[in-house]
Amino acid sequence: MVRKAELIDVVGGLYDCAIEPACWPQALERLAHALDCPAAGVSLQDPRQRRVKLLASWGFTPEFEQAMAQALPINPLLPSGWFMDEDEPYTGVGMLGREDYLATRFYREVLGPHGYFDAAITVFAKTSNRFGGLSVPHSLSQGEWTPEQLEDVRIVAPHVRRAVTIADLLESRALGADMLSATLDLLKTGIVLVDQQARIVHANHAGLAHIANRAGLRRDGDFLSARDLKAAADLRSAIATAAGTETLSLPKMGIAVPIGGPDGPDLAIWVLPLDAGLRRGLAAPFAARVAVFIREIGDTSPFPGELFVKRYGITPAECRVLMMLVQGMSLPETCDALGIGEPTVKTHLARLFAKTGTERQSDLMRLAISALAPAEQPSG
């Protein structure tokens, strides 16, 4: 396990990125070193268009980045974001099993030849058609990730997500227009920055909307409050506690404050301190000490591919087969890409027929293509 002092340093570096975009490579280098990994990257992935944009990285060679881009059609992990919760680390071996993972063309032709064995990946943002993720690889000599190593990634993951989200709030150019639109599309998550007395010093559009739409929150003069008296007291207490606490000393999601909405939806509130770089960077213009994240309870906003796999109860293994087929691959090509036998592919196909109520591959393709195939061909 990584030492807490080292993690605090890593987390502080991540929050520096929300203020200063140029800090991302340095922050990812710190993260990689803390996790004893040769590289780290933040990317934006679009499974339907088979596109991955590396938004910030450290340690990856240009040759590896080019090989990754060219191998997207055979990347079996590309649709994994449809099945994983935010901040929950996963690996190729964990998703496919060691033997099946090592048999894939993606491992044989891309990862292995460039010296990588497997990566720990987390999803930090989902939109209607894409998701952002953190990827930290192990070298061939390091081999598989242990549960203890993944726990370190699990601790850091929510801070990567918050750094990107708060960068959006501050209209930073941290990761370019793609990332800004991705997290803004994602969230319908409101963010309100307050001082230790709950005075509002900055808010994004969604945060202001939550305050104004007659839900559980309200503005009391310049202060953030709640309509229910007990909820208002709980919110003030959570803000005061967060203002004097380090993030790593709090639960992963921060201090949770559920707030009922008598004239609107119930809200889930998470209160977190602005640590390290964020506090330093915000002190001059805002004097903000605490970030309040707001989301409607029950609002999951899955995107089309995720809706499709959840609607029909499709497993990750079945989805990998289906993703290859909707690209126009034949059964033998699918077998080669995934490193599995034709009987296995046919078994997955039979289960897909049963789950979707289709009888022929052409019918299944017509059903799946609107959710899993690109709406338009990639340009250039």
Residue 378 lies in a domain: no
**CB of 49 closer than 8 Å to CB of 374:** yes
Residue 302 has pLDDT above 70, yes or no: no
**How many domains would you assign to the chain?**
3
Confidence of residue 377 (pLDDT cuts 50, 70, 90): very low
In SS3 terms, 186-244 reads as: HCCCEEEEECCCCEEEEECHHHHHHHHCCCCEEEECCEEEECCHHHHHHHHHHHHHHHC
Place of tokens 């679009």: 46
CATH code of residue 345: 1.10.10.10
What are the tens digits of pLDDT across the range 340-361?
999 999 999 999 999 988 888 8
**Both structure tokens of 237:** 């207490």
Residue 380 lies in a domain: no
Place of tokens 């078994």: 347
CATH code of residue 83: 3.30.450.80
CATH code of residue 227: 3.30.450
- pLDDT for the residue numbered 17: 80
**Both structure tokens of 129:** 């058609």
Residue 180 has pLDDT above 60, yes or no: no
Average pLDDT over residues 213-224: 86
Amino acid occupying residue 208: L
Return phi, psi of residue 200, to 5°.
-75, 125
- pLDDT for the residue numbered 221: 92
Residue 281 has pLDDT above 60, yes or no: no
- pLDDT for the residue numbered 250: 62
Do 196 and 159 share a structural domain? no
Residue where a domain terminates, one of 264, 280, 296: 296
Place of tokens 């293994």: 317
Do 161 and 282 share a structural domain? no
- Domain with 64, as residue range(s), is 4-182
- pLDDT for the residue numbered 116: 97
- pLDDT for the residue numbered 47: 80
Provide the 3-class DSSP secondary structure of residue 251.
coil
Q: What is the dihedral of CA 96, 101, 104, 106, to 10 degrees?
A: 100
Confidence of residue 363 (pLDDT cuts 50, 70, 90): confident
- pLDDT for the residue numbered 1: 61
Residue where a domain terminates, one of 182, 216, 249: 182
Percent of all residues in the chain with a pLDDT value above 90, rounded to a whole number: 39
Do 250 and 165 share a structural domain? no
What are the tens digits of pLDDT across the range 36-76?
999 999 988 878 777 788 888 999 999 999 999 899 889 99
- pLDDT for the residue numbered 109: 96
Place of tokens 């280098």: 29
pTM given for the model: 0.70
Choice among 160-164, 243-247, 317-321 with the minimum mean pLDDT? 243-247
**Both structure tokens of 352:** 């897909």
Residue 250 lies in a domain: yes
Look at the alpha carbons of 140, 132, 57, 247 in this order and tell me if their dihedral is positive or negative: negative
**CB of 44 closer than 8 Å to CB of 178:** yes
**CB of 140 closer than 8 Å to CB of 315:** no
Confidence of residue 102 (pLDDT cuts 50, 70, 90): very high
- pLDDT for the residue numbered 173: 45
Q: Name the average pLDDT for the chain.
A: 81
Residue 379 has pLDDT above 50, yes or no: no
Do 338 and 245 share a structural domain? no
Count CB-CB contacts under 10 A for residue 255: 21
Residue 377 lies in a domain: no
Do 165 and 54 share a structural domain? yes
Could you give the count of Cα atoms lying within 13 Å of 208 in the half-sphere of its Cβ? 7
CA distance 350 to 352: 5
